Amino acid sequence: MLPFDDALRLILESAPLMGSERIAVGLGAGRVLAEELVAHTPLPTFDYSAMDGYAVHTSSFTSDGPQSLPVVGESRAGLSPPPLTPGTVCRIFTGAPIPDGADAVVMQEDVARAGDSARFAARPAPGAHIRRRGEDLQQGACALPRGTRLNPFQLGLAAAVDRSELLVARRPRVTILCTGEELRVPGSPAMPGTIPESNGPALAALVRAAGGLPELAPRTGDSLEETERALRAALRGSDLLLTVGGVSVGEHDLVRAALANVGSALEFWKVQIKPGKPLAFGRFGDTLILGLPGNPVSAQLTFALFGMPLVRAMQGDRRPVPARSRVRLKSELRQKPGRTGFYRAVLDGDLALPATNQASGSAASLAYADGLLIVPADSSGYDAGASVEMIRLAEL
């Protein structure tokens, strides 16, 4: 059985890089930059006023005290202003270019206007209320490094440096194949012993959150032949195949045998984690394969812990692994040492309360959880008040 960190490293190191495609900047949220985004123009591109007021040259002020100066012309956003006439001031608005010959802006709240004359309370400091060309980003600077998973603010920055398109990683195609005679489509007639298939919708949403394109294959029953046929079909055209269920050691757990029969190679199939444990990882040609346990909590958490980082790494994401933060335990958290434990917890401020039901069958406790508390494999747990690492589910 592989320790958690080793399994994750092995998976990430095996991640093949997707090709890239050009997309409109407005469609880039959640995509991973496949180029360094260089500012081909400085940001901002010209000196402009940060305030509504008056553009002045500080040398026009003969003293530090109050002074009146004639107002000549104006500078408005979107227009190129005439140069400042020496000894005068120019009306100016927020976002408007600073006229040649001006070196400061006085905001209008500090000016008393009377006809063509403006009375200033004091001499302004040179540079006041001027946003300088290139002060945010200089021409040629790296605006965003390759491998950035783009958030809305970064799209704003890309547009601000005048980009209409971005080169991003292609989204990995991820096929989800659920196995189990007992599974039926949610909401369909319930024969005795059947259950709604509940991993597919959750996994598809997690795939999408990691930037992948999920496709749900029709579920397969528990015969070797049927499983092999379903695997062959699901492997075609997929960058990553997720199988769900049938990967442990029961007589009807046929996925490993079926994977071997269709010619795929498995690197490992057990990881020292709880919940989870059976987790197969292998490949068939260029397609990677993750064999998830069927149990909904185990399936969804192992995909969150290994699969989402893999889907991100396939896009060249510089930070494929979910962030961890520290929280304080509201009550004790114990485990039998041996496997890295990921425990569902709800947050009360920055106090974490472990869920009372940590059973791997409890889908409800996962749905209500704010995060996963991490207990290292060699630890038997923590007392109330201890500081513990947590992965917040909202930040997956």
| Binding residues vs ligand AMP (CB under 6 A) | 178, 180, 182-183, 195, 197-199, 244-246, 248, 250, 253, 293-296
Residue 251 CB coordination number (10 Å): 6
Question: Rounded distance, CA 261 to CA 274, Å?
Answer: 29
Cα dihedral 222, 232, 14, 292 in deg (nearest 10):
-20
Between the two ends of the chain, the Cα-to-Cα distance in Å is 25
Q: Compare residues 294 and 341 and give the one whose CB is closer to Mg ion.
A: 294
Q: Compare residues 58 and 198 and give the one whose CB is closer to ligand AMP.
A: 198
Which residue has its beta carbon closest to ligand AMP?
294
Nearest approach, Cβ of 223 to ligand AMP (angstroms)? 13
Segment interacting with Mg ion, rule: CB under 5 A, options 22-30, 170-178, 292-300, 315-323: 292-300
Binders of Mg ion among residues 157 to 216 (CB under 5 A) are 180
Q: Residue 335: name its binding partner from ligand AMP, Mg ion, none (Cβ under 5 to 8 Å by kind).
A: none
Nearest approach, Cβ of 188 to Mg ion (angstroms)? 18
- 97 forms part of the interface with Mg ion (CB under 5 A): no
The residue among 194, 201, 213 whose CA lies nearest residue 300 is 201
Q: Compare residues 200 and 246 and give the one whose CB is closer to Mg ion.
A: 246
Question: Rounded distance, CA 387 to CA 326, Å?
Answer: 6
Question: Rounded distance, CA 203 to CA 181, Å?
Answer: 19
332-365 exposure pattern, b = at least 16 Cβ within 10 A, e = fewer: ebebeeebbbbbbbeeeeeebbbbeebebebbeb
Segment interacting with Mg ion, rule: CB under 5 A, options 38-46, 139-147, 269-277, 293-301: 293-301
Q: Compare residues 296 and 354 and give the one whose CB is closer to ligand AMP.
A: 296
Looking at the DSSP bridge assignments, the partners of residue 372 are 344, 391
Nearest approach, Cβ of 275 to Mg ion (angstroms)? 16
Provide φ and ψ at 135, rounded to 5°.
-70, -25
Nearest approach, Cβ of 356 to ligand AMP (angstroms)? 21
Q: What angle do CA 26, 32, 36 make, to 5 degrees?
A: 90
Q: Residue 264: name its binding partner from Mg ion, ligand AMP, none (Cβ under 5 to 8 Å by kind).
A: none
State both tokens at 16: 């093949």
Q: Compare residues 220 and 315 and give the one whose CB is closer to ligand AMP.
A: 220
Binders of Mg ion among residues 294 to 333 (CB under 5 A) are 294
Contact criterion met (CB below 8 Å) for 38 and 140: yes
**Binding footprint of Mg ion on the chain (CB under 5 A):** 180, 245-246, 294
